[in-house]
Structure 1
Amino acid sequence: MNKPARALTLIVLVAIMLVAGIAATPAQLAAPGQPTVVATANAGELQMSWNPVPGAQHYTVGYASPDEMDRMAAAGRNRLDAFYYATIGAENTSHTFTGLEPETVYWVTVGAHSQRFGATDLVWASQHAVATTAGQHGDGFCPITGLPIPEGGYLGVGDTATFGKYSITIQEVETPESVILTRSDRTKYDSEAPPGRRWLRIYMHLENAGDSKITLTRGKDSVLDTDAGNAFSWSSERTVESGETHDTSLLFDIPQDATTAVWAVRPFTSESGDNAPQLFSISIPTAEQTVVFGDLNWSSARVQTRIAQYIVEKGYGYATDARFGATLPLFQGLRGGDVHVLMELWLPNQEAAWSAGLEAGQVYSPGEGLGKDWQSAFVIPAYLQEQYPELDSVEDLKNSQYKQLFAIAETGGKARLASCPIDWRCESVNAAQIRGYGLSDHVHIVNPADGAALNADLSDAYERREPWLGYQWGTNGPTLLLDLVRLEEPAYSDECWATTMACAHEDSTILIAANHNLPGKAPDVAEMLGKWDFAVDPVYKGIVRWQDANQDADVNATAIWWLNNNADTWEQWVTDEAAASIRAALAAGEIPDGWPDQ
């Protein structure tokens, strides 16, 4: 992969394309998130990293310059024939290209496939970025692009760059919320910027007083970089015929946090005169930062999310959003950057997903939210055990006397057990435990539609003082309000859990999970979450008791009540300035714009 370097500065246009081999259907594949492309400390090197692809056995990496691709096309060959390729093992998720020619644009590709040779059933997806190598820095060089600063200095909006008989004037710059794009079938559609990015459109006036047309080509003649990282151009080329003028625009997507962009432009034509690049420095208005929370579908997580949104919006001035869903879909969003914070992630329930996200460097935990908790599929009301004191173990469910306590007409003589909703991890775990204990012939599993249905099932039986058997956990509302008993189970062990699962659940650790970019995107929010302390007892237990006494109050009203009455707790998490802003917002009756409708 090495080629001799001939100078110091390298401008690189990178198109990262994921190629994934599939075992069944393309729908099983997921494209990676925005890739990372960075310059190394050595000139002529570029390091690319990507998300691991489940099921990949090998990765193929390669590069080509647009000139080489054009030569292939002119010869009637596929442009992809211009790529230099190498195959590396699936344990790698980064690669450094060395010996790249300076003053040259490159397309770089990475593909994942399930076999080393003969992989024909492939699905392509693409991600894009633009990077500039470390090249030259220090006095006289642009810190963003690494290119020499022209003798006349940077140009700005309203200025003109002249190249012989050709000139470019930037007229205006905007950062629209959405833009109109064109599909391959020429139909148009309205599009927001990719996650974590925003649009930048540069309006310009082009003049050509020469004798031949001049073309401004993406990457070859025009590269834009920002102080926050990579940019990508959505405009391929702009042509001005001899003796004509042309008003046009270029569209880029840039990092959300970018405040300065430098556009390096130098048209390569026989009549363009001095080919030294001119640098336009563009000040970009700071975008309103939005912190996106995963709105998990159970009570303790939703209350914490609303409280956190209030603090983040009213205390720190960020916009917030809450996206409702179950743990795994929201966690995938967290890994990819579409979601920034989950206020609860339960381990070991989500250990596999969490470990994969950590290994890929996509997530981290600012701290623990609720802390520790228990869970069990074999919970009964205390009044029932008082009536049947010998009913104290899962083994007792094999006794026909006790089994009949929980049997109903639909269970065929088996004990009815209210387990977890089918989209919860504990649904499959509970079923495995029942098999492991040899209870399949004694217990009939019922799966409620959601957590609220499970709670209602228990509460209704408890109110009527009827027998009830099922799944509960220590932080759940009914558990904190009702007198419940866990049937005895063998103690948890790693060996048991890896084989039969005929033992108790391991006590859970409940983390706050965040996207790895949160400290850079919102450092004050990350710091606040690191101080978050929402212990089950007394903090959350007090909330549940208040909700029980105020059953008409929704989760938003609960958050407002808690903030108004527990300033001594939340003020320990925030700065003095944020605390003053939150108190003022509460006094004025303000609610966050990002709270979803109930």
Structure 2
Amino acid sequence: MDQKDSKSWRWVKDHWKRNPIGAGGLLIWLVVVFPFRLVGKAVAPPARLAGRNPQWATIAVTIIVVAVVVPLWLGGFLNFRQPTIRLVDGQWETLSINNAIAKFVIEKGYGYSVETVVTGDWRTDLSDGTVDATLEGWQQNYREWYNEATSKGKVDTLATIYENGPQFFVIPQWVADEYSIRTIFDMEKHWELFKGPEDGTRGVFHNCPPGGQCSEINPVKLEAYDLYKTYKVVDSDSYGRSKRL
């Protein structure tokens, strides 16, 4: 089932779950009333119900069914709510902020309910329709997946939140100024400024959150810069907690 079909089916299930009266009324109309009108005299009740006139019997039964179904259907229709929009919650700060802003605007401005979903693999969940959108794709970190998913029509880029979204290694400005650190190669001779409490023989490089492509790229860059001799990589999340690799 492709993304379009899965979303349509999910919409039907959401509508049924939230508006069982309206959905049930519509189902009765389609299954009972419409076929009954089509077959007409062939399924009319005994003639004695309408003065031996099968056509009037059909009309009478139709009126009774409609009198029951229409109020039920209207009751469900008036209580109809739009399906929930599911946003990826990747558990990093900037995305949490963007989700909160989007949730407020969508719910207050457009009347849709919004749910943030923590996923094991947001790329897979976005492709198969388990979630509807992510507000931070960082597609430059997932070129192979992104190109394949867009070419197959599984995902689409609707807008840009960050104009450039550069990614780079960061140290405090005052440290760079005081110790004249201008390039990545200056880090080798100043590793002691960044050594961790557990291992005093190397500095600590705090990697980006696990699961992102940058968490795989950074160790490769450190090796290319020949910094593994003086720095160890520590796997960090965006809230400051970290664990040693």
User: Do both share a fold (TM > 0.5)?
Assistant: yes
Deviations 1:10-34 (A, max 9, x none): xxxxxxxxxxxxxxxxxxxxxxx44
Correspondence for 1:452? 239
In structure 2, the gaps of 5 or more residues are 6-28, 46-72
Greater helix fraction, Structure 1 or Structure 2: 2
Correspondence for 1:10? none
Aligned length: 189
Conserved? CA contact 1:408–1:415, under 8 Å: yes
In structure 1, the gaps of 5 or more residues are 1-32, 38-153, 170-281, 458-598
Residues 1:432 and 2:220 aligned together: yes
Correspondence for 1:64? none
Identity %: 21
Per the TM alignment, residue 353 of structure 1 is displaced from its structure 2 partner at its CA by 2.0
Letter of the 1:314 counterpart: K
Correspondence for 1:303? 97
Correspondence for 1:334? 126
Alignment of 1:81-120 (within 5 A): none
CA distance in 2, matches of 1:290, 1:155: 26
**CA gap 1:332/1:404 in 2 versus in 1, 3 angstroms:** same
**CA gap 1:361/1:380 in 2 versus in 1, 3 angstroms:** same
| Greater RCO, 1 or 2 (C-alpha within 8 Å, sep 6+) | 2
Residues 1:386 and 2:174 aligned together: no
Correspondence for 1:316? 110
Per the TM alignment, residue 370 of structure 1 is displaced from its structure 2 partner at its CA by 2.3
Deviations 1:536-588 (A, max 9, x none): xxxxxxxxxxxxxxxxxxxxxxxxxxxxxxxxxxxxxxxxxxxxxxxxxxxxx
Per the TM alignment, residue 361 of structure 1 is displaced from its structure 2 partner at its CA by 0.4
**CA gap 1:164/1:358 in 2 versus in 1, 3 angstroms:** same
Deviations 1:217-252 (A, max 9, x none): xxxxxxxxxxxxxxxxxxxxxxxxxxxxxxxxxxxx
CA distance in 1, matches of 2:155, 2:83: 19
Q: Of 151, 175, 186, which residue of structure 2 is paired with 1:359?
A: 151
SS in 1 for 2:240: helix
Per the TM alignment, residue 416 of structure 1 is displaced from its structure 2 partner at its CA by 1.5
CA distance in 2, matches of 1:364, 1:425: 20
Per the TM alignment, residue 163 of structure 1 is displaced from its structure 2 partner at its CA by 10
**CA gap 1:155/1:304 in 2 versus in 1, 3 angstroms:** closer
Per the TM alignment, residue 446 of structure 1 is displaced from its structure 2 partner at its CA by 1.1
Letter of the 1:386 counterpart: D
Conserved? CA contact 2:82–2:111, under 8 Å: no
Letter of the 1:289 counterpart: P
Correspondence for 2:210? 422
Aligned-residue RMSD, C-alpha? 3.5
Per the TM alignment, residue 36 of structure 1 is displaced from its structure 2 partner at its CA by 7.3
Residues 1:371 and 2:163 aligned together: yes
Where does structure 1 differ by over 6 angstroms across 4 or more consecutive aligned residues? none
CA distance in 2, matches of 1:162, 1:408: 82
Greater strand fraction, Structure 1 or Structure 2: 1
Conserved? CA contact 1:297–1:325, under 8 Å: no
TM-score (norm 2): 0.64
**CA gap 1:299/1:36 in 2 versus in 1, 3 angstroms:** closer
TM-score (norm 1): 0.28
**CA gap 1:35/1:443 in 2 versus in 1, 3 angstroms:** closer
Conserved? CA contact 2:3–2:129, under 8 Å: no
Conserved? CA contact 1:397–1:415, under 8 Å: no
CA distance in 1, matches of 2:215, 2:201: 22
**CA gap 1:297/1:317 in 2 versus in 1, 3 angstroms:** same
Conserved? CA contact 1:421–1:447, under 8 Å: yes
Letter of the 2:98 counterpart: Q
Correspondence for 1:568? none
Conserved? CA contact 2:119–2:125, under 8 Å: no
Letter of the 1:443 counterpart: Y
Per the TM alignment, residue 428 of structure 1 is displaced from its structure 2 partner at its CA by 0.9
Alignment of 1:181-260 (within 5 A): none
Per the TM alignment, residue 334 of structure 1 is displaced from its structure 2 partner at its CA by 1.6
